[in-house]
Amino acid sequence: MTPQRESRQRSLTGSVLNRGLSVVVFHPDDNDGATLTNHLKRMGFQVAAFWPPLEVLPDKVDLVFRALIPEEQAPRDAWLGPDGPPLISIISYENPTFIDQALKMGSNAIITTPIRASGLLATVVFAMQNARQNRQMTERIASLEQKVSGARHLNEAKSILMAMHQISEAEAYEILRGQAMAKRVSVDDMCHSIIQAGELLKVKRALPKPCPDDTHSQPDL
C-alpha cells in the first residue's frame, strides 16, 4: 500500500472513531447483545440497545446493528431503505436464508455470533464507507437522470419554437434563454412552460370546429 493510500485509510478509520457515532443495537438481551454493546462503547460510540426492534428510530442515528433470528420471517422494519442509516446485520451462522435476508434488507455488512472484538472495528468502518459510496452513487445517478431529462425537455421546447416560428435551432435556444432571463426562471422551467403550451395548442387544434349552421339551428318541435 502506498503512503498516500495508507494515510487515506487511516483518516477514514480515524474519522469513524473520532465522530463518536450514535449506534442503535437491535439484539435480544443475551450475552452476544451485551458483548456487542460493551465493545462498541469501548470504541467511544454512543450506544442504545433495544429488543424487539423499534418501528421508528431515535433521532440522529449513525449506524444500526440488527439481529436476524430464525423466528422472524423477512423483517420489514419501517426505517429500512436508501434514506436510512448504515445497517450491519447480525446472524448466528452463515445460513443462506439469513444472508439473503440481510441482502434484501440492504445491509452494508454482516457479522456472525458469537460476537468478538476482533474485526468489529473493520466491519463498522467498511459498513460506513459502503453506505457513503452507495449514497454518492445514488445522488450521481439522480443527477445524471435529471441532466438527461433536462436535455430532452430542452430539445422538445426548441422543436416547438422552431416549428411555430420557422427559425433555426440556435435562434430557438436564444429565445428560450432570453425568456428565462426576462422571467427570472431557469431554462428548464421555461422549457416546461413551452412544452405545456405546445400540448395545449395540440389539444385545441384537435378539437372539432362547430359548423356555422349547427350554431344557429333549432331543434324541430
Q: Looking at residue 107, what DSSP letter applies?
A: -
Whether 167 and 120 map to the same domain: the answer is no
> Within this chain, do residues 20 and 105 fall inside the same structural domain, yes or no?
yes
**Whether residue 175 sits in one domain with residue 129:** no
In a domain, 184, yes or no: yes
How far apart are the C-alpha atoms of 97 and 110, rounded to whole Å?
Answer: 13
Average pLDDT value for residue range 97-118:
91
Residues 14 and 111 in one domain: yes
Residue 7, pLDDT above cutoff 80? no
Quote the pTM value. 0.66
- Any idea which of 9-23, 89-103, 206-220 has the lowest mean pLDDT? 206-220
Same domain for 40 and 99: yes
The CATH number covering residue 28 comes to 3.40.50.2300
How many angstroms separate the CA atoms of 206 and 209, rounded? Answer: 9
Nearest to 10 by CA among 122, 119, 88: 122
Average model confidence (pLDDT) for the chain? 84
Q: What is the C-alpha to C-alpha distance for residues 176 and 191, in angstroms, rounded to an integer?
A: 7
Is residue 213 in a domain? no
Residue 20 DSSP symbol: T
Residue 46, in any domain of the structure: yes
Please check whether residues 7 and 105 belong to one and the same domain: yes
What pLDDT digit, counting tens, does each position of 128-160 carry? 999 988 888 888 888 888 888 888 889 989 998
Domain's final residue, options 135, 157, 173: 135
Q: In terms of residue numbers, what domain contains 78?
A: 3-135
Please report which confidence band the pLDDT of residue 188 belongs to, taking 50, 70 and 90 as the band edges. Answer: confident
User: Across residues 213-221, what is the average pLDDT?
Assistant: 46
The per-residue pLDDT for 121 is 93
Core vs surface per residue 72-92: b (16+ CB within 10 A) or e: eeebebebbeeebbbbbbbbe
CB within 8 Å of 146: residues ≥ 6 apart: none
Domain boundary among 72, 103, 135: 135
| pLDDT of res. 76 | 79
Within a domain: residue 40?
A: yes
**Are 54 and 22 part of one and the same domain?**
yes
Phi-psi region of 162 (alpha: psi -120 to 50; beta: other; left: phi over 0): alpha
Q: How confident is the model at residue 215 (pLDDT cuts 50, 70, 90)?
A: very low
Q: Are residues 37 and 107 in the same domain?
A: yes
Count: domains in the chain = 2
